[in-house]
Amino acid sequence: MAREFTSIGVVGLGTMGAGIVEVFARNGIDVLAVEISDAALDRGRTTLTRSTDRAVAKGKLDPADRDALLSRVTFAVGLAALHSVDLVIEAVPEHLDLKQRIFGELDRVCKPEAILATNTSSLSVTEISVATSRPNQVIGIHFFNPAPVMKLVEVVRTVVTSAEVVADVEALCARLGKVDVTISDRAGFIANALLFGYLNHAVGMLEQHYATREDIDAAMKLGCGLPMGPLALMDLIGLDTAYEILDTMYRRGGRDRRHAPVPLIKQMVTAGLLGRKSGRGFYTYERPGSPVVVPDEQTPARVDGAVADGARGISKVGVVGSGTMATGIIEVFAKAGYEVVSVTRGAEKSARVCEAVKTSLNKGVVRGRLSEADRDAALGRITWSAVLEHLADVDLVVEAVVEELSVKKALFASLDEICKPGVVLATTTSSLPVIDVAMATHRPADVVGLHFFNPAPVMPLVEIVRTIRTSAETVTTAQAVCATLGKTGVACGDRSGFIVNALLFPYLNDAVKMLEASYSTADDIDHAMKLGCGYPMGPFELLDVVGLDVSLAIQRELYLELREPGFAPAPLLEHLVTAGYLGRKSGRGFRDHTNR
């Protein structure tokens, strides 16, 4: 039977420590909150009071419950006050020597049966435990920020942590209403090991001027449904904290280049640009600690109209293709007021595309998103054809055919002959080099990537991919078109994966490697990313939806281009695809979907 904790100590009353104090006090447990000085103690008390007052103001906590919560908290200066608590959780800055000193002192102060826990998010719990004479009673209890809100707790056992201590802490997490995942002591644990490689990669994109901070963040929020973009999240975490976590993971995690902190992070930390807490990081904030972003010299002007300075006028659009993406793009352009010429290979495919567009528009009417008049007007703007020559007088052609380079190159060579001068030729490829398609024409300056996301009528994002030959006028025209469509266009260079896939799929690949190493289960990894990071889906849920074969193909392309060992496809992913485990579409992937 798990032991009952009646008193708990918390060392360190910064944002995280004060949040942990609140979690325990909310659940009826007496808490002894400890800091190193009266000034630090006052700051911690203020943080706790502000948090509980906000909860009352938002109707999430009754005033009487707040008062009862605060009455359970005792504040003290110095570790000696912790002599009689059942459990101590340390929540001081991420410096190993500091944590070891504290644990050495806690070992001397606390009663022999007390459990000593660290809230570290990246340091070795084992290395912290050896500073004590009771390493079997040392454990990691990693809360996520803000602790009163976030449901996940990573319970980190070392090779010598006793099974009883693990069971006691798991029971405590359940009492707190938290979801715990129990794992062994490895750099970054689950959430940070998967999160920070992705964040570091995003900073690398910015450092290389591949895309703007706004476009990188918008791409991941709108393309993947993430609660925050990676650069805004780095500002929230704190660039100094992010640097320490990455550096620790690089040194302790096999020196994977993906975890070697991008030099820009170190430069910003040295310059005091730490994120929200300093008032400036990747973005500039209203004041230190404020979440309100204010414009600065890096904030770009946005294209917000159909015709912007330097953009060509577009009124008639051709769409080539017969798949789901093509039908969605036809619908998007027709609803936005463009004349559309739909070209497919053969009358039968043309009829299918026509029927699919009508069905989708009718659904919009049924769901109240579209009036019957708007539906009829959109359909009236579409011309159906099986002849490429009908694209001779359009202003923009969007290609949405199969992802085979030879097919696309042949199509663009034909469009080069058919279309009038000045026509923008766009490919919707998600993985092929746009420059290869562009060079199949005699007008590479007019060729651009317009990567719509599926389903195109719903997804608000378009990646605008410029090659080294794409003219500024063509990019500006593409941005203006996206604005008219009501889409957010994010501009980037012509590299494998563009923004979204280049950041998303290495993260998914890392999750597969974690599972392959038997570090955790697919369910716990999914829980960690959904509950700890606010992701809409866990990596294995997403892999099964996307398709393991699709994921493998994209990861291979990224590895082929970047040649970094950390991007090599996980062998487990390759084996599953070889065995026919493709995800939902095959009925089996990382989970069995045959009865769902």
The alpha carbon of 148 is separated from its chain's Cα centroid by a whole number of angstroms, namely: 22
Location of each CATH 1.10.1040.10 domain in the chain: 191-294, 501-586
> Which segments in the chain show pLDDT lower than 70?
300-309, 595-596
Q: CA–CA separation, 107 vs 115, rounded Å?
A: 10
User: In CATH terms, is domain 501-586 a member of 3.40.50.150?
Assistant: no
CATH classification number, 7-184, choose in 3.40.50.620, 3.10.100.10, 3.40.30.10, 3.40.50.720: 3.40.50.720
Given this model, what pLDDT does residue 289 score?
83
Which residue type, as a one-letter code, is found at position 585? K
Q: CA–CA separation, 555 vs 106, rounded Å?
A: 47
Q: Which residues are catalytic?
A: 121, 142, 154, 192
Count of CB atoms situated within 10 Å of the CB of 458: 10
CATH class for the region spanning 316-493: alpha beta
Count of CB atoms situated within 10 Å of the CB of 33: 26
Given this model, what pLDDT does residue 307 score?
45
Q: Assign residue 14 a region (left: φ > 0; alpha: ψ between -120 and 50; beta: otherwise).
A: beta
Q: 3-state SS of 423-434?
A: CEEEECCCCCCH
Residues 6+ apart with CB under 8 A from 317: 333, 338, 339, 340, 341, 394, 395, 396, 397, 398
Q: CA–CA separation, 17 vs 20, rounded Å?
A: 5
Beta strand pairing call for 284-285 and 30-35: unpaired
Given this model, what pLDDT does residue 566 score?
86
SS3 content of the chain, % helix, strand, coil (to 5): 50, 15, 35
Given this model, what pLDDT does residue 1 score?
72
CATH number of 191-294: 1.10.1040.10
Cis bond before residue 146 (omega within 30° of 0): yes
Q: pLDDT digit string (tens) for 13-31? A: 998 999 999 999 999 999 9
Report DSSP state, residue 302.
P
The DSSP result for 229-257, as a single string, is -HHHHHHHH-HHHHHHHHHHHHHHTT--G
Q: Are 197 and 259 in contact (CB under 8 A)?
A: yes
Q: Are 583 and 508 in contact (CB under 8 A)?
A: no
Given this model, what pLDDT does residue 306 score?
41
Q: Are 399 and 426 in contact (CB under 8 A)?
A: yes
Given this model, what pLDDT does residue 34 score?
96
